């Protein structure tokens, strides 16, 4: 049976939700020794129900690390409409995540893209993690600032984006790939990042307009997905700044 709410936990995650989207919060439970004046003021300002329990009972509500004495019951995460995202491709660079299975990686990517701004995420419904409680905790509030769409078929979503004039670049390990520092980005832009162990699927690689690699002058250990997303989002932001 699906729960009627999701649990958001940790000071940073709850603070950002109180700041950006307080109406999505149904209730906040804090430990009786919880002390954070900024969070307490926002709870009072938005007239949110605040229940105080023992620290042990709060921890029992969410068996996870870094609960930090605060848990919020919030509405289920609302995904963006992909068709609407396509209408915003001149303002947003789309990150298509092909079969991402690690909630930690997805959370870090959301947080990173929120820090840089101007990005959105597209996830496949199958063979990929979704926006879970663990993902939101790692995102540390970033889910409030990054639009995330969920699609039935990632390849078809990429084709639709291309029909809207979006140039699709993919992160690959390939001798023919262009060094990210020398890439000539064409906007509007979409970036494809592949699964943690297998990379971008063969079928989706066929859709790429550009193949991009991240140079590794040291040991060829490869970057994990979240690291690659950070490098790409930084470089795209840098180029946008100098081209504007």
CATH number, domain at 33?
3.30.1330.30
Does residue 86 share a domain with residue 42?
no
Instruction: Please list the pLDDT of the chain residue by residue as tens digits (244 residues).
Output: 568 999 999 999 999 999 999 999 999 999 999 999 999 999 999 999 999 999 999 999 998 888 999 999 999 999 999 999 999 999 999 999 998 999 999 999 999 999 999 999 999 999 899 999 999 999 999 999 999 999 999 999 999 999 999 999 999 887 789 999 999 899 999 999 998 778 899 999 999 999 999 888 777 666 789 999 999 999 999 988 765 5
Q: Are 191 and 236 in contact (CB under 8 A)?
A: yes
Does residue 92 share a domain with residue 61?
no
In a domain, 1, yes or no: no
In a domain, 86, yes or no: yes
Among residues 116, 78, 98, which one has the least CA distance to residue 191? 98
3-class secondary-structure state, position 186:
coil
Return d(Cα 189, Cα 179) in angstroms, integer.
17
- Structurally, how many domains does the chain consist of? 2
Does residue 101 share a domain with residue 208?
yes
Residue after which a domain boundary falls, among 58, 74, 90: 74
Residue after which a domain boundary falls, among 74, 96, 124: 74
Does residue 193 share a domain with residue 104?
yes
Does residue 197 share a domain with residue 111?
yes
Domain hosting 108: range is 82-243
Task: Compute the C-alpha angle 87/207/237, nearest 5°.
Answer: 55
């Amino acid at each position: 049976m699906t729960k009627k709410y999701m649990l958001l936990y940790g000071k940073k995650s709850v603070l950002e939700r109180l700041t950006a989207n307080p109406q999505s919060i149904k209730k906040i439970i804090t430990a009786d020794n919880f002390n954070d004046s900024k969070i307490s003021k926002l709870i009072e300002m938005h007239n949110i129900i605040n229940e105080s329990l023992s620290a042990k009972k709060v921890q029992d509500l969410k068996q996870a690390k870094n609960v930090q004495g605060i848990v919020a019951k919030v509405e289920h995460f609302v995904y963006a409409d992909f068709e609407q995202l396509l209408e915003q491709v001149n303002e947003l660079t789309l990150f298509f995540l092909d079969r991402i299975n690690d909630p930690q990686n997805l959370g870090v990517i959301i947080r990173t893209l929120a820090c840089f701004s101007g990005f959105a995420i597209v996830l496949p419904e199958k063979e990929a993690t979704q926006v879970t409680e663990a993902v939101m905790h790692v995102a540390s509030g970033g889910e409030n600032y990054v639009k995330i769409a969920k699609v039935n078929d990632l390849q078809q979503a990429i084709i639709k984006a291309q029909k809207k004039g979006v140039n699709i670049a993919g992160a690959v390990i390939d001798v023919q790939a262009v060094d990210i520092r020398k890439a000539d980005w064409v906007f509007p832009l979409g970036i494809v990042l592949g699964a943690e162990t297998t990379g971008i699927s063969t079928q989706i690689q066929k859709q790429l307009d550009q193949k991009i690699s991240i140079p590794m002058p040291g040991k060829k250990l490869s970057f994990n997905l979240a690291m690659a997303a950070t490098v790409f989002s930084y470089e795209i932001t840098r180029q946008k700044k100098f081209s504007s």
